[in-house]
């Protein structure tokens, strides 16, 4: 287990936790240069019909970094994040974010659900959150 695991509460591994062999195999086949994109990591979870946090835990276990967050929040070079505040926000999007947020925070899953429901990009949701001062927390993979 890597030292990174200790940083993330949701990915803290119980002593009895063991990686799922199919996840290990998929990550080893997909990761390039010790990295895997958020898109590929979540695809692995969907393909294997498992909770994305299990893929996140296994990336830590294997020492693989998750990069290129689909919300634009981390894993890009040379900047860490690529998201910028939205120039304008539709009333529908603003309302959806407000309704789904708690104490100025929106979960990654809620952001994805809003994007799907409104048929907009995930980055459109995170850009709106930047403008509104809403923090996106609790990554489905446990990266933040």
Residue percentage of the chain with pLDDT more than 90: 83
- Which residues of the chain are under the pLDDT cut of 50? 1-9
What's the structural domain count of the chain? Answer: 2
Q: What is the structure's pLDDT at 39? A: 98
Residue 81 lies in a domain: no
Q: What is the structure's pLDDT at 15? A: 75
- 50 lies in the same domain as 97: no
Residue 9 lies in a domain: yes
Structure tokens at 83: 């998201």
Q: What is the pLDDT of residues 109-131, one digit of tens each?
A: 999 999 999 999 999 999 999 99
Residues across the chain: 144
Residue percentage of the chain with pLDDT more than 70: 90
Residue 75 lies in a domain: no
Residue 73 lies in a domain: no
Closest alpha carbon to 67 in 122, 141, 1 = 141
Residue 25 lies in a domain: yes
State the angle between helix axes of 21-30 and 38-48 in degrees (0 to 180), rounded to the nearest 10: 150
Residue 82 lies in a domain: no
Q: Where are the alpha helices (DSSP H) in 31-140?
A: 38-48, 52-62, 91-100, 108-118, 122-132
- 56 lies in the same domain as 104: no
Rounded to a whole number of angstroms, the distance between the first and last alpha carbons of the chain is: 18
Q: What is the structure's pLDDT at 17? A: 84
The domain of 100 spans 91-137
Residue 19 lies in a domain: yes
- 25 lies in the same domain as 61: yes
- 111 lies in the same domain as 58: no
Q: What is the structure's pLDDT at 6? A: 46
Q: What is the structure's pLDDT at 107? A: 97
């Amino acid at each position: 287990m890597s030292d990174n695991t200790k940083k993330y509460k949701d990915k803290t591994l119980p002593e009895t936790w063991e990686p799922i062999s199919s996840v290990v195999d998929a990550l080893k086949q997909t990761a390039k240069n010790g990295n895997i994109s958020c898109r590929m990591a979540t695809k692995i979870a969907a393909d294997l019909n498992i909770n994305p946090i299990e893929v996140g835990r296994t990336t830590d276990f294997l020492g693989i970094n998750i990069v290129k967050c689909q919300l634009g929040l981390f894993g890009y070079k040379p900047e860490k994040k690529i998201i910028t505040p939205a120039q304008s926000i539709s009333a529908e999007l603003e309302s959806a974010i407000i309704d789904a947020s708690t104490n100025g925070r929106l979960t990654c899953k809620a952001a994805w659900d809003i994007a799907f429901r409104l048929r907009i990009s995930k980055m459109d949701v995170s850009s709106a959150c930047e403008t509104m001062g809403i923090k996106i927390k609790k990554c489905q993979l446990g990266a933040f």
